[in-house]
Amino acid sequence: MDGPVIDYQAVFQALPGAVALLTTDLVYADANEAFLSMSGRTREQVVGRYLFDVFPDNPNDPGATGMRNLYASLRRVAATGERDTMALQRYDVEYPDRPGVWDERYWSPVNVPVLGMDGTVVLLLHRVEEVTELIRARGTRGGGDRAQVLEAELYTRARELQEVNERLRQAHAREREVALHLQEAMLPPPRLLGHHPAAVRYRPATGALNVCGDWYDLADLPGGDRIAVAVGDVVGHGLRAAGVMGQLRSALSAASRVAAGPAQALEVLDLYARSVDGAESTTAAAVFIDCDDHTLTYSSAGQPPPALLHPDGTVAFLDQATDPPLGARPEHAPRPQAQTAFSDGSTLVLYTDGLVERRHEDIDTGLHRLADSLTRHHTAAPEALADALLADLIPPAGVTDDTALVIISL
């Protein structure tokens, strides 16, 4: 039996809490009645206007930081797609009918991303709980001096929390920078493999989290026109992930040069990963290219399937040899591998999940986006194709997981 038809616009307006919707450019898209009542503004004074044109910081108070802190929070939510609960903030709000007269207010904001079908942030939900009256009431019960002491204490605590958050942000930023430099030093530069043009890309996640766990590798194999291509993704982020990544990339690169096939190379890597702290649940995919026989032999340990772009623009995903991530089984076991033929002029694409996976979205949706983009740009050379894929699939605000990408002409 079908449920009732819900008018979500009516629900939004009827919410007892103060809620506003902003675009990623921080322009009010809507505000419910509770928000308008709390702020003392009409809909016309809010909707369609830039946030800080409606609510600027008090120019008469150099120490006023509430709106600047709100700006930083909203930009962070837009960039990362993660909600942010702010510390108690003091805002001075100008009376709309009394220019130059400011009322001291205390708000507790929560900022939440609203995601589109492709997983990108399309709106920012800004919920405000005002605690000004509570503070004033407590101050009144304790007398005027008590009110001033409580106000000063709350303001001091809020500033201390902000300072702690800023120090943590700076520490994360420094770790991110060092980790990215380490990552860059350990990943091989793009080069020509035989007569096969190749392109590689690494794109870090937005913000300080989830960077430096992804890698790629390309290697000439002995015995004719043969190439090994691989990508992988270490669980974790920062310097530790970069260190584990370097160990696993080197181990797989070495194993590929002596292994009978990609499955055996991943089996060796699985055994090695079990002895490396932080390597558990790493994902990896390896493809051995035999250009003499025009075959691809592949195996995957938890990675999204590599894509084979045919000269006519059709796309086939290499998904017939998938297995769990490294170290996921209690006991070591052989890994599967499969083989497929390719024709001259084909293109092989390996990538990590940051390219296709989006929160609250089925992986098949991301794979369809990838296939559509490959088809549209199927005549492009590897370098141009890599740029086109990133432009099509990575949202302007970035993603919350890093991405490695390898493209090679066959």
Sequence-distant (≥ 6) Cβ neighbours of residue 207 within 8 angstroms: 76, 79, 80, 172, 398, 400
* CB distance 398 to 206 below 8 Å: yes
Q: In 3D, which of 91, 110, 86 has the Cα closest to residue 161?
A: 86
User: Which has the higher per-residue pLDDT, 125 or 245?
Assistant: 125
Adjacent-strand bridge partners of 129 = 108
* pLDDT number for residue 380: 96
Determine contact, residues 114/8, Cβ cutoff 8 Å.
no
Cα separation of 337 and 299, whole Å? 5
The pLDDT value given to residue 91:
73
Per-residue confidence band for 87, with pLDDT thresholds at 50, 70 and 90: confident
> In terms of DSSP H, where are the helices of 187-326?
238-258, 262-273
pTM over 0.75, yes/no: no
Name the burial class of residue 236, with classes exposed (0-12), middle (13-18) and buried (19+) by CB atoms within 10 angstroms of its CB. Answer: buried
Instruction: Note the pLDDT of residue 208.
Output: 46
pLDDT of residue 164: 60
Give the tens place of pLDDT for each residue, 129-185: 877 666 555 554 444 455 555 555 665 665 665 566 666 566 666 655 655 555 565
Dihedral (Cα; 230, 236, 238, 240), 10-degree rounding: -90
Question: Is pLDDT at 307 greater than 90 in this prediction?
Answer: yes
Query: What is the DSSP track for 220-258?
Result: EETTTTEEEEEEEE-SS-HHHHHHHHHHHHHHHHHHHHH
- Encode burial over 109-125: b for 16+ CB neighbours within 10 A, e otherwise: bbbbbeeeeebbbbbbb
pLDDT per position as a tens digit, 379-392:
999 999 999 999 99
Residue 344 identity: D
55-73 tens-digit pLDDT: 887 777 766 667 778 888 8
Nearest to 308 by CA among 198, 407, 197, 195: 407
The confidence score (pLDDT) of residue 1 equals 44
DSSP string, 62-116: TT--HHHHHHHHHHHHHHH---EEPPPEEEEEE-TTSTT-EEEEEEEEEEEEEE-
201 contacts 390 by C-beta, under 8 angstroms: yes
Residue 210 reports pLDDT greater than 60: no
Lowest mean pLDDT among 3-7, 230-234, 317-321: 3-7
pLDDT tens per residue across span 250-265: 899 999 999 999 999 9
List, in order of start, the domains of the chain with CATH numbers: 8-178 (3.30.450.20), 190-409 (3.60.40.10)
Question: How much is the pLDDT for 186?
Answer: 60
Q: What tokens were used for 28?
A: 């009010």
Average pLDDT, the chain: 82
Residue 397 pLDDT more than 90? no
* Residue-level pLDDT at 145: 54
211 pLDDT tier (thresholds 50, 70, 90): low
pLDDT tens-digit readout, 171-180? 666 655 655 5
Q: Which two tokens stand for residue 23?
A: 């675009």
Residues 6+ apart with CB under 8 A from 394: 203, 355, 403
d(CA 335, CA 124): 44
